[in-house]
A and B are shown apart, each in its own frame.
Chain A
Amino acid sequence: MSSRTDNDLYKKVVEVSYVYLGPAADRFIVRQIRGHLNKEPEQLQKNDLINLIDWISLAMAVLVEEEELVSQYQTELKSLVS
């Protein structure tokens, strides 16, 4: 697993996502941040997380049919907010 920046929050988001998306996790998260938050991964802040999690959940719902898996991923990401 490789991270593109030193931003700890971004690294944690990728770490959680790695369990679900494996080698595609880093690319997936970078795309969500750039595409929906109009930011670079190193600029990710805690107050962006809720918005980011919503976008990630939407994208995951397109990829997988198992709602349980999406909600589990969502819960793990939400734990990073607190």
Chain B
Amino acid sequence: MKLQSKLFYSYLIFLLLYIAFVLLPAPDPAILLHYNLSPLTLRLIDVTIILLLAGIWFAGFYGYAKLQDYARLIRQDKDGQHVSKLTRGVFFLVMWLPVSSVASAILNYIAIKHHGLLAAVKIIENYINLLLPLVGFIFIGIGARGLSELAQHRPTYRSANIMVIALVYIGLIYYRLVATTYHRADVYHMPIWLILTTIVGPYVYMWFIGMLATYEIYRYRRKVAGVVYRKSWNLLALGLGWLVVMSIGFQYLTTLSARLNGLSLYWLLAIVYSVLLVLAISFVLIALGARKLQKIEEV
């Protein structure tokens, strides 16, 4: 079976599983009561979110497939080995969306049936959300470092300082949001020291390698020889950078998730739809960038 068809079938399996676990169980009466909704309206909202997610997952899978095609075309060459690592990282980031959404749908279904498992469900959800992008950014970081070494250009002292300063403040804001959020127990279901050491710490580390990788790809794009080749890296670098920014935004938003429950349904939907659409941009950029690079290797 070809890679493309394997990817397509896994996309369909994820989608069907998600649809089944969101639409088949009876709507949660607590949600209907909280937002004053009829079961039909809730189902319609679920369908719009499923459609959006299907689009974003498709953009992710498509972007990965294009990047994989490009990596395969150049795998024997020096840059090819680094692009392969980068592609592996993008694979984990692409899988993060369907895996976390499907796992969340399944776990929430279990939690509705067994209320005692709610805390365990939330904890597992939080770790799934962390692990896949963490592994993804580690691979992207290794690939980006390889490319940067190929262009014989390491980050300057000044840029390293700027990155560290940015990271210190991003980390501090995240720590502040996690530590002081009124509904911390509902979001994390863990003691603060465990949240700080196993969630906040790894996230800040992940953002660091993500930022560093983005910067190294940006430097590679600027310093590597080849006017045409350089330009083709623009969109890919932008897409990866955007994913790092989105990951930071997601985590900030997660700390506020319990507070967001107090918003009206329209505001809540506006936030969910906007986040999903903004996330889709990064995968579309990666797909377009990979297509441009692939074109150089095909003509």
Contacts and interface: CB of A to CB of B under 8 A. Distances in A.
B225 A22 contact: yes
Interface string B222-250: 00111111110000000000000000000
- The 7 A-B residue pairs whose C-beta atoms are closest, nearest first, are A22-B226, A22-B229, A59-B299, A22-B225, A23-B79, A21-B226, A24-B296
Given A2-B78, A22-B230, A23-B77, A28 B296 contact: yes
B229 A24 contact: yes
Contacts of A31: 297, 299
Contacts of B229: 20-25
Contacts of A59: 299
A24 B226 contact: yes
Residue of B73, B150, B225, B230 with most partner-chain A CB within 10 A: B225
10 contacts: A2-B77, A22-B224, A22-B228, A23-B225, A28-B299, A31-B297, A63-B295, A64-B228, A69-B227, A69-B228
Contacts of B77: 2, 23, 26-27
B74 interface: yes
Interface residues on A, range: 20 to 34
A54 to B, nearest CB: 14
Contact of A23 (B73, B226, B227, B231): B226
Residues of A contacting B: mostly = helix
Contact of B297 (A27, A60, A64): A27
Contacts of B230: 22
A21 B230 CA distance: 8
B228 A27 contact: no
Interface in B201-260: 224-231
Residue of A20, A24, A28, A31 with most partner-chain B CB within 10 A: A24
B286 to A, nearest CB: 19
Nearest to A61: B299
Given A19-B227, A23-B229, A24-B296, 5 more contacts: A23-B79, A24-B226, A24-B229, A63-B295, A69-B228
A31 B150 CA distance: 23
Contacts of A26: 77
A26 B79 CA distance: 12
Contacts of B224: 22-23
Contacts of B79: 23
A54 B181 CA distance: 66
Contacts of B74: 24, 27
A64 B225 CA distance: 16
Contacts of A21: 226, 228-229, 296
B299 A20 contact: no
A4 B32 CA distance: 68
A62 B297 contact: no
A60 B295 CA distance: 11
